[in-house]
């Protein structure tokens, strides 16, 4: 047949393809598996997956991977390519090195590397030589120090700890025997060159912590002294491989747990990370500095982390200092809380000395950065006045406005505003949506309309009066219609407009005209008369459906009453949560009581989170449709 390859042609083509290492790698590796190590991918239709783009900062996933065709494309920044392009762009590699990296993974021989592609790989290899040397030197005093701190042999091996012995050229001489030149050692920061041109080992008489990138490759080291010498820790300087602000110690081991839980514990020390992993907190990493950077937060967000526990300082003043100094780009991206480490210890000392349960409780009771920011704003205004509430809402509007369909920071700030300012959630959402379309100063009248008690009761009362007006617009059917309405509602509420209508009907013998006149002296009478008159005009129109209008009003009333019951239940949960929080802070609460308190707190948190998730599935959908129309 014309256009159909013969068996021999297919065999020849397959042979040529098999001889091409690139094609063999494409056949053997799933592009989603490779990309999925850096980006959390979720199904996005047949043969496609999507996630947050690793090449630009975004909140809504626009990075798509086409599984069958083996390429990716970002609708946000237009980044595109195949499996090789992805590795080259995310790891800063040349094609030859990317080919060798993926070839090793796929079990494909890609041939001899070219000198041009060798430099970066050589630098990783240099660090590998140093790592092997340091590990071989770990014995005696240094090993005893690590065991004395409580680390097990398994943890020491898992994190590949080592020792740089005392001396000026131990590593330098060893590296020369392995064919590594001193220029290469200098390039990765393992040597220091003085003003006279003499080169010597940077790390001496220190326990060595190898620092890996997200792919598990050694990019640098940190060395800790065994005595009181200074500096206590010495890090690799900034190099082609080692960029401190972009690295998180332990991330290569913590990635699966972070993805699974959506939470990460960030500490200051390398020893803290190892101790936490050893005691079951396998989602722990360390920032290589005093604060979490935007680049580090970006890495965590790509792993689908939602909440960050900062276990930096032990006391409350330290907690507040950590949150006050937090980069706002980080606080706007992730839910952050500052953890008060038990008994004023470092995390490593706390968990290795038996306070594992207390540390777990401390994670649950951390000081929320969102709440910290909220309370700082409250301190500047009088929240008991309309003007004060207006100023607070305007100050918090940028954080309250969702940046994505599921924005955990905005959702948490919204919860605090609703709970502490007494705002009606639905009306707050409506104002935020309108404010995003067109920003205008918030008026006192708008604030009054958002206040929860009044807003909720106003809405219920308005719908009830609409039903009253509908019934009175058909005076001849009043008794039968009213009985049907009362039967359609689950309970009779004392003081409601419908309860008042029943009393007036019984007093007037269900004479519709007399009942209507009875509203003349009532506060709501004007609204009832206006609606009855309006309904009389609407009934003359061809499209008016009385039964449909009544059914719709009843449905809305049931919905509002259900929301009111939910709000009452939510208030009880919040009150109980505060009570449990006080119990945990009370020194008199015994250790035997704490597990039950912690378990109940977790249950309440889950219930409140489920309610918030249910609300978010309703509100942002409308918000997203509005954006698409523009």
pLDDT tier at 18 (50, 70, 90 boundaries)?
very low
Q: Which among 488, 487, 528 is positioned nearest to 504, based on CA atoms?
A: 528
Q: Which among 302, 260, 301 is positioned nearest to 283, based on CA atoms?
A: 260
Q: Are residues 359 and 283 in the same domain?
A: yes
Hey, what are 616's tokens? Answer: 């978010």
Residue 619 has pLDDT above 70, yes or no: no
Q: Are residues 77 and 128 in the same domain?
A: no
Hey, what are 332's tokens? Answer: 């706007």
Strand-pairing partners, residue 311, are 267
The domain boundary, picked from 557, 581, 616, lies at 557
Q: Are residues 304 and 288 in the same domain?
A: yes
3-state secondary structure at position 192 = strand
Position 627 scores a pLDDT of 39
Q: Is the peptide bond before 231 cis (omega within 30 degrees of 0)?
A: yes
Q: Are residues 79 and 163 in the same domain?
A: no
Percentage of residues in the chain with pLDDT exceeding 70? 83
Give 492-542 pLDDT, tens digit per residue. Answer: 777 788 888 888 898 889 888 888 888 877 767 777 887 887 777 666 666
Helices (H), 81-114: 83-91, 95-106
Q: Which among 409, 443, 444, 415 is positioned nearest to 429, based on CA atoms?
A: 415
Q: Give, as one character, the DSSP assignment of residue 226.
A: S
For residue 441, tell me if it sits in a domain. no
* Poorest-pLDDT segment among 97-101, 481-485, 538-542: 538-542
Q: Are residues 226 and 126 in the same domain?
A: yes
Please give the backbone phi and psi of residue 556, each rounded to the nearest 5 degrees, phi first. -65, -40
* Poorest-pLDDT segment among 185-194, 242-251, 265-274, 544-553: 544-553
Give the Å distances, CA to CA, from 628 to 151, 291, 307, 623.
Answer: 55, 38, 29, 9
In angstroms, the CA 224 to CA 232 distance is 6
pLDDT tier at 608 (50, 70, 90 boundaries)?
low
The domain boundary, picked from 209, 242, 275, lies at 242
Residue 87 has pLDDT above 70, yes or no: yes
* Poorest-pLDDT segment among 27-36, 153-162, 179-188, 304-313: 304-313
For residue 177, tell me if it sits in a domain. yes
Count the domains in the chain: 4
Q: Are residues 194 and 290 in the same domain?
A: no
**Between residues 484 and 304, which one has the greater pLDDT?**
484
pLDDT tier at 625 (50, 70, 90 boundaries)?
very low
Strand-pairing partners, residue 221, are 210
CATH number at residue 37: 3.90.580.10
What pTM value is reported for the model? 0.61
- The answer for residues whose C-beta is within 8 angstroms of residue 537's C-beta and 6 or more apart is none
3-state secondary structure at position 566 = helix
For residue 601, tell me if it sits in a domain. no
152 near 171, Cβ under 8 Å? no
Name the range with the highest mean pLDDT among 272-281, 297-306, 461-470: 272-281
256-262, Cβ contacts within 8 angstroms, sequence gap of 24 or more: 257/282, 257/283, 258/283, 258/300, 258/303, 258/304, 258/305, 259/40, 259/303, 259/304, 262/304, 262/305, 262/306, 262/307
In angstroms, the CA 236 to CA 189 distance is 6
Hey, what are 119's tokens? Answer: 């430099």
Q: Which among 225, 244, 245 is positioned nearest to 233, based on CA atoms?
A: 225
In angstroms, the CA 99 to CA 25 distance is 9
Q: Are residues 34 and 71 in the same domain?
A: yes
Q: Which helix (H) or strand (E) holds 74?
A: strand 71-74
Residue 590 has pLDDT above 80, yes or no: no
In angstroms, the CA 389 to CA 443 distance is 10
- Domain extent, residue 326, equals 246-373
* Poorest-pLDDT segment among 113-127, 185-199, 225-239, 540-554: 113-127
- What is the mean predicted confidence (pLDDT) over 344-372? 87
In angstroms, the CA 445 to CA 458 distance is 14
For residue 573, tell me if it sits in a domain. no
Q: Are residues 122 and 156 in the same domain?
A: yes
In angstroms, the CA 228 to CA 606 distance is 46
Q: Are residues 210 and 267 in the same domain?
A: no
pLDDT tier at 274 (50, 70, 90 boundaries)?
very high
- Helices 386-400 + 425-437 axis angle, to 10: 70
- Helices 594-629 + 408-421 axis angle, to 10: 110
Give 574-584 pLDDT, tens digit per residue. Answer: 677 777 767 76
- What is the mean predicted confidence (pLDDT) over 537-558? 77
* Poorest-pLDDT segment among 89-98, 192-201, 221-230: 89-98
Q: Are residues 333 and 320 in the same domain?
A: yes
In angstroms, the CA 393 to CA 372 distance is 16
469 near 535, Cβ under 8 Å? yes
Position 155 scores a pLDDT of 97
Q: Are residues 508 and 535 in the same domain?
A: yes
State the pairing for strand pair 307-311/263-267: parallel
Residue 8 has pLDDT above 50, yes or no: no
Give 115-159 pLDDT, tens digit per residue. Answer: 544 566 688 899 999 999 999 999 999 999 999 999 999 999 999
Residue 553 has pLDDT above 80, yes or no: yes
Percentage of residues in the chain with pLDDT exceeding 90? 25
Hey, what are 576's tokens? Answer: 């109980």
139 near 62, Cβ under 8 Å? no
50 near 75, Cβ under 8 Å? no
**Between residues 590 and 207, which one has the greater pLDDT?**
207
The domain boundary, picked from 78, 106, 134, lies at 106
Return the sign of the alpha-carbon dihedral for residues 127, 130, 136, 142. Answer: negative
Give 287-301 pLDDT, tens digit per residue. Answer: 987 778 888 888 888
Please give the backbone phi and psi of residue 543, each rounded to the nearest 5 degrees, phi first. -100, 0
CATH number at residue 183: 3.90.980.10
Q: Are residues 314 and 234 in the same domain?
A: no
**Between residues 434 and 13, which one has the greater pLDDT?**
434
Q: Answer left, alpha or beta for residue 495, where phi above 0 means left and psi between -120 and 50 means alpha.
A: left
Mean pLDDT, the chain, rounded, equals 81
Give the Å distances, CA to CA, from 381 to 6, 222, 321, 394, 420.
Answer: 82, 47, 22, 12, 13
3-state secondary structure at position 211 = strand
Helices (H), 473-593: 478-488, 497-507, 512-517, 525-538, 546-585
């Amino acid at each position: 047949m014309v256009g159909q390859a013969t068996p021999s042609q297919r065999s020849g083509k397959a042979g040529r393809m098999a001889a091409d290492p690139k094609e063999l790698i494409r056949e053997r590796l799933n592009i989603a598996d490779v990309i999925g190590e850096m980006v959390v991918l979720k199904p996005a239709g047949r043969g496609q997956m999507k996630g947050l783009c690793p090449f630009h900062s975004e909140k809504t996933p626009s990075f798509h991977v086409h599984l069958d065709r083996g390429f990716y494309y970002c609708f946000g920044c237009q980044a595109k390519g195949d499996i090789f392009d992805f590795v080259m762009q995310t790891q800063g590699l040349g094609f030859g090195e990317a080919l060798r990296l993926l070839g090793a993974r796929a079990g494909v021989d890609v041939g001899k590397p070219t000198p041009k592609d060798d430099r970066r790989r050589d630098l990783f290899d240099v660090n590998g030589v140093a790592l092997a040397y340091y590990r071989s030197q770990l014995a005696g005093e240094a090993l005893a120090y690590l065991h004395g701190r409580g680390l097990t042999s398994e943890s020491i091996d898992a994190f590949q700890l080592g020792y740089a012995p005392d001396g000026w050229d131990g590593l330098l001489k060893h590296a020369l025997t392995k064919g590594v030149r001193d220029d290469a050692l200098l390039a990765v920061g393992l040597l220091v060159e003085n003003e006279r041109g003499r080169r010597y080992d940077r790390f001496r008489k220190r326990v060595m912590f190898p620092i890996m990138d997200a792919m598990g490759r050694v990019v640098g080291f940190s060395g800790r002294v065994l005595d009181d010498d200074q500096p206590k820790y010495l890090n690799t300087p900034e190099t082609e491989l080692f960029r401190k602000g972009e690295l998180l110690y332990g991330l290569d081991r913590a990635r699966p747990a972070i993805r699974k839980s959506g939470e990460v514990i960030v500490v200051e020390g390398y020893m803290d990370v190892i101790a936490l992993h050893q005691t079951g907190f396998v989602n722990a990493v360390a920032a290589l500095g005093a604060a979490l950077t935007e680049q580090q937060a970006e890495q965590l967000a790509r792993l689908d982390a939602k909440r960050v526990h900062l276990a930096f300082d032990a006391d409350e003043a330290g907690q507040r200092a950590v949150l006050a100094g937090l980069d706002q780009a980080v606080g706007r991206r992730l839910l952050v809380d500052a953890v008060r480490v038990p008994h004023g210890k470092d995390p490593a000392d706390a968990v290795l000395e038996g306070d594992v349960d207390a540390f777990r409780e401390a994670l649950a009771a951390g000081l929320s950065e969102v709440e910290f920011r909220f309370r700082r704003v409250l301190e500047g205004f009088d929240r008991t006045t309309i003007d004060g509430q207006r100023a607070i809402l305007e100050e918090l509007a940028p954080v309250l406005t969702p940046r994505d369909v599921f924005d955990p920071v905005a959702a948490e700030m919204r919860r605090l505003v609703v709970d502490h300012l007494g705002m009606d959630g639905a009306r707050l959402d409506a104002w935020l949506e309108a404010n995003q379309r067109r920003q205008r100063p918030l008026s006192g009248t708008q604030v009054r309309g958002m206040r929860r008690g009044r807003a909720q009761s106003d809405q219920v009362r308005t719908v009830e009066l609409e039903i009253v007006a509908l019934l009175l617009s058909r005076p001849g059917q009043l008794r039968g219609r009213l009985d049907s309405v009362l039967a359609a509602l689950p309970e009779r509420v004392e003081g409601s407009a419908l309860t008042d209508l029943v009393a007036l009907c019984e007093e007037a013998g269900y004479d519709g005209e007399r009942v209507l006149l009875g509203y003349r002296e009532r506060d709501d009478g004007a609204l009832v008369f206006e609606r009855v008159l309006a309904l009389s005009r609407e009934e003359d129109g061809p499209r008016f459906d009385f039964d449909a209008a009544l059914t719709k009003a009843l449905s809305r009333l049931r919905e509002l009453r259900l929301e009111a019951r939910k709000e009452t239940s939510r208030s009880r949960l919040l009150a109980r949560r505060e009570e449990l929080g006080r119990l945990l802070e009370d020194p008199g609460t015994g250790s035997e009581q704490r597990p039950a308190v912690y378990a109940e707190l977790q249950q309440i948190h889950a219930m409140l989170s489920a309610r918030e998730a249910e609300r978010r599935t309703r509100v942002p959908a409308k918000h997203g449709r509005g954006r698409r129309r523009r």
